[in-house]
Amino acid sequence: MSKYLISAAAVVLGLAGTAGAALATEPAPTTTAAPAATRATAPQTAVTTKQAVAVVVVRTGGGHGGQSVFTLVGAANREEAEVLHLASTPEFQALRPRYAPAHPASGRYTYRIEAGYRDKTKKRVLVVEGTPGTPKVALDVIRMMVDVPAPDLSHLPVQFPPGFPFN
**Could you list the pLDDT tens digit for every one of the 167 residues in the chain?**
445 445 444 444 444 444 444 444 444 445 555 555 444 454 555 556 789 999 999 999 877 778 999 999 988 888 889 999 999 999 999 999 999 998 877 888 999 999 999 999 999 999 999 899 999 999 999 999 998 777 777 788 887 788 887 76
CB 55 within 8 A of CB 114: yes
User: Residue 22 falls within a domain, yes or no?
Assistant: no
User: Residue 61 falls within a domain, yes or no?
Assistant: yes
The residue type of 27 is: P
User: Residue 47 falls within a domain, yes or no?
Assistant: no
The pLDDT assigned to 114 comes to: 97
| Terminal-to-terminal C-alpha distance of the chain | 54
φ/ψ of residue 9, rounded to 5: -65, -40
The pLDDT assigned to 165 comes to: 77
Structural domain that includes position 95 = 52-146
CB 121 within 8 A of CB 50: yes
User: Residue 15 falls within a domain, yes or no?
Assistant: no
The pLDDT assigned to 161 comes to: 80
User: Residue 75 falls within a domain, yes or no?
Assistant: yes
CA dist 28 and 10 (Å) reads 29
Total domains in the chain come to 1
The pLDDT assigned to 47 comes to: 52
User: Residue 103 falls within a domain, yes or no?
Assistant: yes
User: Residue 83 falls within a domain, yes or no?
Assistant: yes
User: Residue 9 falls within a domain, yes or no?
Assistant: no
3-state helix, strand, coil in the chain (%, to 5): 35, 20, 45
